[in-house]
Structure 1
Amino acid sequence: MVRSRSIIATPPGATIKEQLNDRGMSQKEFAVRIDMTEKHVSKLINGEVQLTPEVAVRLEIVLGVPARFWNNLEAIYREKLIKIAAEKAMDADENLARQFPYSEMAKLGWIPQTRNSKEKVINLRKYFEVVSLSLLENTQITRIACRRLAVTDKSDLALLAWTQEAKIQARGIETKPINIKGLISVMPDIRKMTLKKPKDFCFELKSLLAENGVALVFLPHLKGSFLQGATFIDGNKIVVGLTARGKDADKFWFSLFHELGHIILGHVGKNGGTTEQDEQDADVWSRDELIPLETFKMFKEEQNFSVASVKRFAKENRIAPGIVVGRLQNEGCIEYNMLNELKEHYVITV
């Protein structure tokens, strides 16, 4: 007998046992009469093996109860087992669904609006393309390289929701085959885009990345995800997702280069996602790709961080002044409230 919250499934073997008890027949004798091993009969009575049409015919001969009766009992039992499994999975998924930022996802148009908990589960299963939300724990599904500001249980689920939307949108982006060497070769061109406005560089940036097998997607920030960006392989392309909430240019470029660093350093597609060391390595790569280490070291040694000095250094190195300011602030050379007038604030339309 198998139970769930509202369903009980009784195997046909329970009826077989009743028949044997009524006749005072032992399982050993019954096994001989039906020409089966005692072990198989025991499993049949306990519902551990399926009652096949052939067995149903044998039961009709030995017990005098029509084969169709046994076939019907087996069909009902198997159907109830499926419903029990579905109900248990639904109960588990309802608990999991409560941890997703469902309302915000619905407001963004990613999933249908509903207050019904079961409908939420069904909608989330369809959204994530899994038969059970518990499968999202499988590392084959969640091999994501990402840059987040904090980590909580709910933030992990928000991250999965955000990256799934990036995956869905990236399917509409045509890319050429993945070409890591090609991506490395265009990094100087991407770096030069730091001097342009979003309306001027967005299309060019997306096209350049698509030429090398990378689909770039801008998405709204999802509350609770603490997410800056994420990178993962989907089919024959690499998807890079970035939050498009208003942010300073230096943070935008650092996040983008951080994600591209994951690709170039070989972190994408690893089982279990990225390690803390991978994240640190991508940070260092992003930092030094934007402003080479030795070049920045010589600038710091001058100890002149005036507006004019920063602008001069940025111009000489063909980089946006705001990126220089962000680096100075991050490395403790100046306070976070200094030189912010040199930072440009981006608003990117998704």
Structure 2
Amino acid sequence: MILNSFEFKLIEQKIKKIEETILEVKRSSSMDSFLLQIEIDSLNAFLNKLVKERDFYLKTIQDFRGEVLENDVLLLYPENLLYIRIANQVSQEEIADFLEVSIEEIKRQEEYLYKKLDPILLSKINKFVTEKVTSNLNTNTSGINWENFPIKEMLKRQWLPSQVTDLASIIKVQFEEIFGNSGYELALHRKFNFNGNSPNIYSLLAWQIQVLSKAKEITKQSQVPSFDNDLAWLNQLVRISTSPTGPLEAQEFLLSKGIILIVVPHLPLTYLDGAAMLLPNTAIPVIGLTLRHDRLDNFWFVLFHELGHIFLHLNEERNIIFDEEMDIVTDQIEIEADKFALENLISLEQWNMCISRFYQDEEKLNEDARNLKIHPSIIAGRIRKENDDYRVFNEQIGSKQVRKLFWDNEYDSE
């Protein structure tokens, strides 16, 4: 049985993997037809089991969202208390803390659907869960219209389950799973900065939920160290750019410094390049990149721009900064983040020594890159930008070299 949204996502991934495996097996010509059918039947049996678990979880969310139990019903159907817990995002950890028992004990009782708990303890859990559900229902999220999210596009990208009719409710569950039940005013008015256009707030929020969901999964799978707020290690990050798999290595390196880097494609009409944010209810910085421009020079500049926001600007009052159209600088914090990126990628002293600024040919560019221990695309991109001449170094900016590292051929046509 699926007990939380994290397990649900793992099941979804398994289902997708098995479906792909079945297609591969069906295409196989090297197996005996009898053995082939046995293999397919076995995979289908496992697939059907997982699909039933997934569908039951989704139905539980729909049926028990916002429900509470009276004690007389509770004693007859104690399993309903578990379903209410799941549907309303009350965690096992919360119940364990409330009862002052181990989480393993709660998991053990949930294996029996609460049917082996004595009535007094069952009633205590029910009271706690009822208070949580009631509190959730009173949460001030009235300013958010869940139907305004880009549901069709989210379905297309498999950000939402296709088997559910009430997708707005699923979005609300995802929202509360990330931001808690405190009412996230950022969604409509404040606590973030825009640069450039004014895109659809619901598209930005949908993208942010996806980024933070992936970041939260990482925190569940491994211990993220405390953010290492030390500019000294940025030189190591710059040198990683010289590797053919530099962007992927940067993701791993940043995690070792307490920063989670997530790559999720932008939604239509957002013109979003990236964002710097804090994982809600933690001090963990998260960088989201869209790779809207599939170039190495753009990847490294946007990454360091977002690092600038993390080092200089993120705090409790400003916990998310969206960056759209990086070429447009509209306020002081964007100017500061740009300056941070330029200085920490190539210092002014180093920049003044670059001969490729004056002799714009590939040999001089590569010579500068070797001297600076940096990828030549970063120098090329800066020269193009400062001279406002995008005809030079077209072959040296690393076009179509980033997305394939993260997504293979997916989203390569955006």
Quick one: which amino acid aligns to residue 271 of structure 2? Answer: F
Deviations 1:318-344 (A, max 9, x none): 1111111111111126x2122111121
Displacement of 1:244 in angstroms is 4.0
Tell me which residue corresponds to 2:299: 252
Distance in structure 2 (CA, Å) of the matches to 1:303 and 1:245 = 30
Distance in structure 2 (CA, Å) of the matches to 1:262 and 1:236 = 14
The answer to whether 1:319 aligns with 2:374 is yes
Tell me which residue corresponds to 1:223: 268
Distance in structure 2 (CA, Å) of the matches to 1:134 and 1:180 = 28
Distance in structure 1 (CA, Å) of the matches to 2:225 and 2:293 = 30
Tell me which residue corresponds to 1:309: 364
Q: How many residues align?
A: 252
Greater Rg over alpha carbons, structure: 1
Tell me which residue corresponds to 1:186: 233
Displacement of 1:167 in angstroms is 0.8
Indicate the larger mover: 253-262 or 204-213: 204-213
Mark the CA change 1:195 to 1:115 in structure 2 (over 3 Å): closer, same or farther.
same
The answer (yes or no) to whether the contact 1:145–1:232 under 8 Å persists in 2 is no
Mark the CA change 1:255 to 1:268 in structure 2 (over 3 Å): closer, same or farther.
farther
Distance in structure 2 (CA, Å) of the matches to 1:188 and 1:281 = 19
The answer (yes or no) to whether the contact 2:146–2:171 under 8 Å persists in 1 is yes
Deviations 1:3-60 (A, max 9, x none): xxxxxxxxxxxxxxxxxxxxxxxxxxxxxxxxxxxxxxxxxxxxxxxxxxxxxxxxxx
Choose which of 186, 197, 208 in structure 2 pairs with 1:151.
197
1:166-177 → structure 2 map (5 Å cutoff): 166-173=211-218, 174=222, 175-177=224-226
Displacement of 1:136 in angstroms is 4.1
Tell me which residue corresponds to 1:328: 383
Higher relative contact order (CA 8 A, sep 6+): 1
Tell me which residue corresponds to 1:349: 406
- Which runs of structure 1 show a deviation greater than 6 angstroms over 4 or more consecutive aligned residues? 130-134, 139-142
| Same amino acid, percent of matched pairs | 26
Tell me which residue corresponds to 2:152: 103
- RMSD of equivalent CA atoms: 3.5
Displacement of 1:171 in angstroms is 1.1
Tell me which residue corresponds to 2:327: none
TM-score, structure 1 length as denominator? 0.62
Displacement of 1:295 in angstroms is 2.4
Mark the CA change 1:290 to 1:103 in structure 2 (over 3 Å): closer, same or farther.
same
Displacement of 1:302 in angstroms is 6.3
| Structure 1, unpaired ranges of 5+ | 1-81
The answer to whether 1:137 aligns with 2:137 is no
Displacement of 1:255 in angstroms is 0.8
The answer to whether 1:165 aligns with 2:207 is no
| Structure 2, unpaired ranges of 5+ | 1-133, 322-329, 408-414
The answer to whether 1:285 aligns with 2:340 is yes
TM-score, structure 2 length as denominator? 0.53
Mark the CA change 1:215 to 1:134 in structure 2 (over 3 Å): closer, same or farther.
closer
Displacement of 1:128 in angstroms is 1.2
The answer (yes or no) to whether the contact 1:215–1:239 under 8 Å persists in 2 is yes
Tell me which residue corresponds to 2:44: none
